Amino acid sequence: MLYAIWSNCSSIREVTTGLLACSSRINHLGMNYFPRRSTLSDANCKRNAKVFEEIYKVLYNQLARSLPDSRTEKWASKLYIFDSTTISLFQEILKNAGRSPMNGKRKGGIKAHTMIKADQDVPCLVKLTSAAAHDSPFMKEIDVPKGSILVFDKAYNDYKQLACWNDTQVYFVSRLNKAAICQQLENYTITDEQQHSGVLKDQKILLGHHHHDNITRVKVRLVVYHDPQSRKVFHFFTNIFDLPALTIANIYKKRWQIEILYKRIKQNYPLKYFMGDNENAIKIQIWCALIADLLLKYIRKHAKKNWAFANLVSMIRLHLMNYINLFKFLNNPEQSIEVSKSKPLSWSLFPT
């Protein structure tokens, strides 16, 4: 499956024929023969996707310490970003959100709920559900150290979980939903410098309605910010009261990092076509794409030459089955691939 991901295969036939062409070089992978299409299809159906999930977790625990970027801000080491993305399926294997199409042929979808550390840029927590599942339950899966900062979008509106994070001194920054009910408690002073930077309001508010006593209400800080670039007004709420209002807006801007992650994975790995029409096969392929991305991020971090990620993926794809020293190749591709003079080629493409 890793071969399928790195080779950008879109079908089982491409995987099996590709391995057949490299049959003389698969012994080092522990494979004595290339798999048949039926063998690979049955394995994707019967082998539990939890196996690949555990492989990803083990690799992440081993490699995560060497991934942080020292150039990021101090608070970035405590910053966690989470969101979800939906991958469309051609069959209704998993229930999708939205209305049924006019032709009655409803497509399925799988949703990847993901959390990353801002200084690592790889998922540290992933949960796969049907596309119709709501985002809020994922908040209960999150377990971060005391003093961490969570950044998320306005779809995550579980006030009980927000109150729980308040009690455990876990900080958060998010956008206020238009339908949210809030009560103003206090106004904070805004300096001329803050107004010039785009800060319009800085208040303490109480989130949640008071229709009955069982409803959880949360005291948070509301920052209203006008972005000079997009010319849009954003309403941020947070339980951080000791940082400047402009810093709160800048922390939320970091949320776009996870959108870049989703774009990188969808563009560089085959997730438009799946090699199985069952839930297990789909999850296996997604976990293998995450494993491949984690390994490539580690390789890119430790290569001396500064590679663009898309170029690195292309180089790995072209030389996947060649016997080369990977880091020497990435540092100087032209010199590392040379035909030895002592072993000249015994054939020629063109007759002389």
Higher local confidence (pLDDT), 20 or 138: 138
What is the per-residue pLDDT for 70?
58
Partner residues linked to 88 by β-bridges: 109
- Kindly state the average pLDDT of the residues 39-66: 92
Partner residues linked to 202 by β-bridges: 223
Q: Which of 121, 52, 126, 124 lies closest to 296 in space, CA to CA?
A: 121
| CB atoms closer than 10 angstroms to residue 134 | 14
The pLDDT tens digits for 73-88 are 666 788 999 999 988 8
Domain spans of the chain? 1-152+255-336, 157-251
Buried b (16+ CB within 10 A) or exposed e, 4-36: bbbbebeebebbbebbeeeeeebeeeeeeebbe
What is the per-residue pLDDT for 134?
86
Q: How much is the pTM?
A: 0.85
What is the per-residue pLDDT for 342?
39
The pLDDT tens digits for 226-253 are 988 888 999 999 999 999 999 999 999 9
- Helical H runs in 34-150? 37-46, 50-63
